[in-house]
Amino acid sequence: MQLFSIFGDPVSHSRSPLMHNAVFKHCNHPACYTRTHLLDGAKLKETFFSLGLSGANVTIPHKEAAFAACDEVRGFAKKVGVVNTLVEENGKLIGYNTDADGFMYAIREFQNVKKILVLGAGGTAKALVSRFLEEAIKVTVLNRSATRLAYFKTLDCDIYTWDDFTLANYDLVVNTTSAGLNSADLPAPKELIEQVLQNTHYVADAIYGKLTPFLERAKEKNIPYKNGADMLLGQGVLANALFVQNKLSKETIQNAMEKSFLL
Ligand code: NDP
- Determine the pLDDT at residue 49: 98
Number of helices and strands (H, E) in the chain? 11, 12
Amino acid at 26: H
Predicted TM-score (pTM) of the model is 0.82
Confidence of residue 108 (pLDDT cuts 50, 70, 90): confident
Question: Does ligand 1 have an atom closer than 6 angstroms to the CB of 127?
Answer: no
Q: Express each pLDDT in 6-26 by its tens digit.
A: 999 999 989 999 999 999 999
Whether residue 145 is predicted with pLDDT greater than 80 in this model: the reply is yes
What is the set of domains in the chain, with CATH numbers? 2-98+230-262 (3.40.50.10860), 111-223 (3.40.50.720)
Whether residue 91 is predicted with pLDDT greater than 80 in this model: the reply is yes
What distance in Å separates the CA atoms of residue 16 and residue 247, rounded to the nearest whole number? Answer: 20
Q: Please state, rounded to an integer, the average pLDDT across all residues of the chain.
A: 95
Amino acid at 192: L
Residue from 177, 193, 260 whose mutation best tests the ligand 1 pocket (most atoms within 8 A of CB) = 177
What distance in Å separates the CA atoms of residue 55 and residue 33, rounded to the nearest whole number? Answer: 9
Question: Does ligand 1 have an atom closer than 6 angstroms to the CB of 178?
Answer: yes
Give mean pLDDT, residues 122-149. Answer: 95
- Determine the pLDDT at residue 28: 94
CA distances in angstroms from 35 to 10, 45, 57, listed in the order given: 10, 15, 9
- Determine the pLDDT at residue 263: 81
- Would you put residue 205 in left (φ > 0), alpha (ψ -120 to 50) or beta? beta
Question: Does ligand 1 have an atom closer than 6 angstroms to the CB of 205?
Answer: no
- Determine the pLDDT at residue 138: 98
Collapse the DSSP code of 207 into the 3-class scheme (helix H, G, I; strand E, B; otherwise coil) and give the result.
coil
Q: Which residues pair with 138 in a beta bridge?
A: 115
**Helix 228-243 / helix 16-26 crossing angle, nearest 10 deg:** 50
Confidence of residue 246 (pLDDT cuts 50, 70, 90): confident
Minimum CA distance residue for ligand 1 atom 4: 122
Confidence of residue 80 (pLDDT cuts 50, 70, 90): confident
Question: Does ligand 1 have an atom closer than 6 angstroms to the CB of 124?
Answer: yes
CA torsion, points 172, 176, 178, 180, in degrees to nearest 10? 10
Q: Residue 226, CB half-sphere, CA atoms under 13 Å: how many?
A: 24
Dihedral sign (CA 70, 125, 131, 35)? positive
Q: Is 250 considered catalytic here? A: no
Task: Report CA(206)–ligand 1 centroid distance (Å).
Answer: 8
Task: Report CA(187)–ligand 1 centroid distance (Å).
Answer: 9
